Amino acid sequence: MDEKDLIILHEDNHIIVVLKPQNVACCPDESGDDNLFDCIKRYLKVTYNKPGNVFLGLVHRLDRPTGGVMVFAKTSKGAARLSEQMKNGGFEKRYYAVLGGVPARKQATLEN
């Protein structure tokens, strides 16, 4: 994934909110595949001409097959506040699925 492919929904001094494409890892894993976390770090390094290692806080995850909105912290202060919000229920996660055909039941639970 190249940093020019990032879809940035919001960015301020403390956070960056991006759209994670499906089938892209949200952070480094044993596969060694490129991932959203490293892509955002490259974007921050180039865009803001940052020397050395760029801080980026991973606040939550999305499974590789899942696409959606992700929030990352650009500062340690932002990471602490976002982590506190996650812990105290300040975040709401919603998952939507696209189905082919008509489901057999009106309501069910998907476990993956």
**pTM of the full predicted structure?**
0.86
Q: Is 45 in contact with 53 (CB distance < 8 Å)? A: no
Q: Is 42 in contact with 35 (CB distance < 8 Å)? A: no
Distances (CA, A) of 76 to 53, 56, 57, 111: 14, 8, 7, 34
Whole-number pLDDT of residue 109: 83
CB atoms within 10 A of CB 80: 12
Q: Is 78 in contact with 59 (CB distance < 8 Å)? A: no
Q: Give the closest residue to 7 by CA, choosing from 49, 33, 35, 40.
A: 40
Whole-number pLDDT of residue 94: 85
Q: Which residues are the active-site residues?
A: 63
Whole-number pLDDT of residue 23: 94
CB atoms within 10 A of CB 14: 15
Whole-number pLDDT of residue 93: 83
Whole-number pLDDT of residue 35: 96
Whole-number pLDDT of residue 42: 96
| Tens-digit pLDDT string for the chain (112 aa) | 888 899 999 999 999 999 999 999 999 999 999 999 999 999 999 999 999 999 999 999 999 999 999 999 999 999 999 999 999 988 888 888 788 899 889 888 877 6
